[in-house]
């Protein structure tokens, strides 16, 4: 299953473009939130997405900076996905 994750940094921004791109990419389930990406703390939808995915699934984002803002955070997220045998895809 393709599982999408979308994020914008503030409540005034729209998730519509990311959600549409993830749906067009074939994502069957979407997780989205409006929260700063400076760290993975307080990113409840990201935690829910990682908890939701199962072996053989793929977590999909529109851009890498929507998932992580630092190499350390990116590494930790990819490590969690790898432990669950979940793939990762960035569509742009």
Q: What is the pLDDT of residues 54-79, one digit of tens each?
A: 999 999 999 999 999 889 999 999 99
Give pLDDT, residue 35: 84
Among 9, 10, 11, 92, the active-site one is 9
Residue 65, token pair as written in the block: 């900076």
What's the pTM?
Answer: 0.92
In terms of Cα–Cα distance, which of 92, 84, 21 is closest to 51?
A: 84
- Tell me if 60 sits within 8 A of 30, measured CB to CB: no
Tell me the C-alpha distance between 80 and 39, whole Å: 15
Q: Examine the residue annotation and report whether 39 is marked as an active-site residue of this protein.
A: no
pLDDT class of 39 with cuts at 50, 70, 90: low
Mean pLDDT of 41-48: 90
């Amino acid at each position: 299953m393709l599982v999408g994750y979308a994020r914008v940094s503030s409540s005034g921004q729209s998730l519509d473009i990311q959600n549409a791109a993830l749906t067009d990419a074939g994502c069957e389930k979407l997780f989205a939130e409006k929260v700063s990406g400076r760290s993975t703390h307080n990113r409840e939808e990201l935690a829910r997405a990682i908890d939701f995915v199962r072996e053989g699934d793929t977590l999909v984002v529109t851009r890498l900076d929507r998932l992580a803002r630092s190499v350390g955070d990116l590494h930790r997220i990819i490590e969690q996905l790898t432990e669950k045998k979940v793939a990762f895809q960035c569509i742009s």
